[in-house]
């Protein structure tokens, strides 16, 4: 009997080993990842970065429109208020979209939700594209709100789709692709917004409309991919369709082990009532991972990355770089962000999620303190000014190693199928709310504190690093069942 158990254990180990080999990347899985991500996270990144370069042109146009309507010259402060609303309403849309993720994901599925979401892109393009012709900055503001809702939904639906179509051993790397496309699209927006490309008086409406291109790509490609096998089996109870979808994604009929795993998750969930918002807050096995998910999302936004990105051109100008060189250096920072996110895609399955988050946040904490010191002396010392540039670049490198990408897919890893949509909704809404708080609050704080504003971020980074060290579990190579049972044990202790 003992001998039989040993052999069986060996066989299981072999099966497990085989699943790692066969479930590598194949052309169909790559196609499904591209179809889901290029159309969704591109909107998130592109529309975050696209308004920076043509700011002055659009402000002049707003001033002109107001003058034509009232006949009274517009003050700069009035224009700034309208411009601030147009920029920050994108985050408000993100909060709305984020809070709708659970409802949309359960009602239309992950794939269905992503496809329907492109209707908002079409409406945005019509509003933003014709705002100048119609002489209506209100159309621009409504367009920004709609694309914000689209981006908020994408931020939840896309990582959820990726997490549910990926083999366990690739889940982290595939999840990182979402952040990678965000960084690429921000860089593309910065390049296209240059004066010598499309940042001109005539072409800025077209610049805003380019967001339709990835949406069209998704509408054409995503229908050729299946819905996630987990959604088909666990939410819809369609076993055969789930198996067909899994066979398509893995490029092999050898999907028995993975199907069994999903079936056992399906069986165990039949005995659990449907997870509601109230349930997720009351039940300690769900509340612990929810606190972790929310804290990691807050950590990402309150790390100060948006402030550093916003401040970078000014820091480069302080370092005595000319205006065009400072802009080019900012592009360099964007390119470094892309490069390091690619590196984190490789590292996340080797080093693990917790290690990369710890390295990122503790490194950023030290870096931000050094940046503050150098900024304080940058006016009088050339060396301090040049070191400020180095700390900005290092900050972006540290952010991209883990804090930039891991929060997006960690939420999907911490929860089982029934709790995932509700938990994702909460986490994404928190992320966009924090983004809004930083974008609204940074400038007033900067005016009040000057370079010392970064001390606040350093303190927050230190606190988040402590929280991650104490509370965040390692989810690398663990199945959803293993992760949820781990939280069950914690809640009983």
What is the crossing angle of helices 171-192 and 323-350, to 10°?
Answer: 170
| CA gap 127, 179 in Å, rounded | 27
CB atoms within 10 A of CB 457: 24
Please check whether residue 177 is in contact with residue 345, taking contact to mean a CB–CB distance below 8 angstroms: yes
φ/ψ region of 71 (left if φ > 0, alpha if ψ in -120 to 50, else beta) reads: left
Q: Counting every residue, how long is the chain? A: 493
| CA gap 94, 98 in Å, rounded | 6
pLDDT of 199 reads: 83
Helix (H/G/I), strand (E/B), else coil: 200: coil
Query: Which residues does 152 contact at the CB level (< 8 Å), separation at least 6?
Result: 93, 94, 95, 96, 97, 98, 99, 100, 101, 428, 429, 432
From first to last of the 493 residues of the chain, give the pLDDT tens digit: 333 333 333 334 344 433 333 467 899 999 999 999 998 999 999 998 888 878 889 999 999 999 999 888 888 888 988 988 998 899 999 999 999 999 999 999 999 999 999 999 999 999 999 999 999 999 999 999 999 999 999 999 999 999 999 998 898 999 999 999 999 999 999 889 888 889 888 899 999 999 999 999 999 999 999 999 999 998 899 999 999 999 999 998 888 988 998 898 888 777 777 788 888 888 888 899 999 999 999 999 999 888 787 777 777 877 777 777 877 888 888 899 999 999 999 999 889 899 999 999 999 999 999 999 998 888 788 888 889 889 999 999 999 999 999 999 999 889 888 889 999 999 999 999 999 998 888 878 888 888 788 999 999 999 999 999 999 998 888 887 788 888 877 765 5
How confident is the model over 304-318, as pLDDT tens digits?
888 787 777 777 877
Please check whether residue 227 is in contact with residue 110, taking contact to mean a CB–CB distance below 8 angstroms: yes
**Residue 488 corresponds to which tokens in the numbers above?**
């069950």
Query: Which residues does 71 contact at the CB level (< 8 Å), separation at least 6?
Result: none
How confident is the model over 238-265, as pLDDT tens digits?
999 999 999 999 998 888 988 998 898 8
Query: Which residues does 96 contact at the CB level (< 8 Å), separation at least 6?
Result: 148, 149, 152
Q: Got the DSSP string for 6-59?
A: HHHHHHHHHHHHHHHHHTS--HHHHHHHHHHHHHHHHHHHHHHHTTTTTHHHHH
Could you tell me the pTM of the whole model? Answer: 0.87
| CA gap 446, 461 in Å, rounded | 18
Q: Got the DSSP string for 212-270?
A: HHHHHHHHHHGGGSPPPHHIIIIIT--HHHHHHHHHHHHTSS--HHHHHHHHHHHHHHH
Query: Which residues does 393 contact at the CB level (< 8 Å), separation at least 6?
Result: 332, 333, 336
How confident is the model over 420-449, as pLDDT tens digits?
999 999 999 999 999 999 888 887 888 888
- CA distances in angstroms from 326 to 303, 373, 442, listed in the order given: 23, 21, 21
């Amino acid at each position: 009997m003992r001998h039989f158990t040993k052999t069986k254990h060996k066989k299981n180990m072999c099966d497990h080993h085989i699943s790692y080999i066969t479930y590598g990347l194949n052309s169909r899985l790559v196609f499904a990842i591209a179809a889901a991500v290029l159309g969704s996270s591109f909107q998130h990144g592109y529309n975050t970065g696209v308004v920076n370069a043509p700011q002055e042109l659009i402000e002049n146009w707003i001033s002109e429109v107001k003058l034509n309507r009232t006949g009274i010259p517009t003050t700069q402060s009035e224009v700034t208020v309208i411009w601030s609303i147009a920029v920050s309403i994108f985050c408000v849309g993100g909060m709305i979209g984020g809070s709708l993720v659970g409802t949309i994901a359960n009602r239309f599925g992950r794939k269905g939700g992503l496809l329907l979401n492109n209707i908002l892109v079409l409406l945005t393009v019509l509003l933003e594209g014709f705002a100048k012709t119609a002489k209506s900055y209100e159309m621009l503001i409504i367009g920004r709100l709609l694309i914000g809702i689209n981006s908020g939904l994408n931020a939840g639906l896309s990582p959820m789709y990726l997490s549910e179509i990926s083999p366990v051993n690739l889940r982290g790397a595939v999840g990182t692709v979402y952040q990678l496309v965000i960084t690429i699209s921000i860089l593309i927006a910065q390049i296209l917004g240059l004066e010598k490309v499309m940042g001109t008086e005539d072409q800025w409406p077209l610049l805003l409309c380019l967001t339709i291109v990835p949406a069209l790509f998704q509408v054409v490609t995503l229908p050729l991919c299946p819905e996630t096998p987990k959604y088909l089996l666990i939410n819809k109870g369609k076993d055969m369709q789930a198996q067909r979808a899994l066979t398509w994604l893995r490029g092999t009929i050898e999907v028995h082990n993975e199907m069994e795993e999903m079936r056992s998750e399906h069986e165990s969930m039949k005995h659990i009532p449907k997870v509601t918002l109230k349930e997720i807050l009351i039940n300690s096995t769900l509340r612990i991972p929810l606190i972790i998910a929310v804290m990691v999302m807050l950590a990402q936004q309150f790390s100060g990355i948006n402030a550093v990105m916003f401040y970078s051109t000014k820091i480069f100008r302080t370092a005595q770089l000319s205006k065009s060189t400072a802009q080019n250096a900012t592009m360099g920072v964007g390119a470094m962000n892309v490069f390091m996110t690619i590196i984190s895609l490789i590292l996340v399955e080797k080093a693990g999620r917790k290690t990369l988050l710890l390295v990122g946040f503790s490194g950023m904490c030290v870096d931000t303190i050094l940046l503050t010191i150098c900024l304080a002396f940058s006016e009088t010392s050339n060396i301090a000014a040049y070191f400020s540039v180095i700390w900005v670049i290092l900050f972006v490198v540290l952010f991209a190693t883990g804090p930039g990408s891991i929060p997006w897919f960690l939420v999907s890893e911490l929860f089982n199928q029934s709790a995932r949509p509700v938990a994702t909704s909460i986490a994404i809404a928190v992320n966009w709310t924090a983004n809004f708080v930083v974008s609204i609050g940074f400038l007033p704080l900067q005016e009040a504190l000057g370079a010392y504003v970064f001390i606040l971020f350093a303190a927050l980074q230190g606190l988040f690093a402590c929280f991650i060290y104490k509370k965040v579990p390692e989810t690398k190579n663990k199945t959803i069942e293993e992760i949820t049972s781990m939280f069950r044990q914690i809640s009983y202790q």
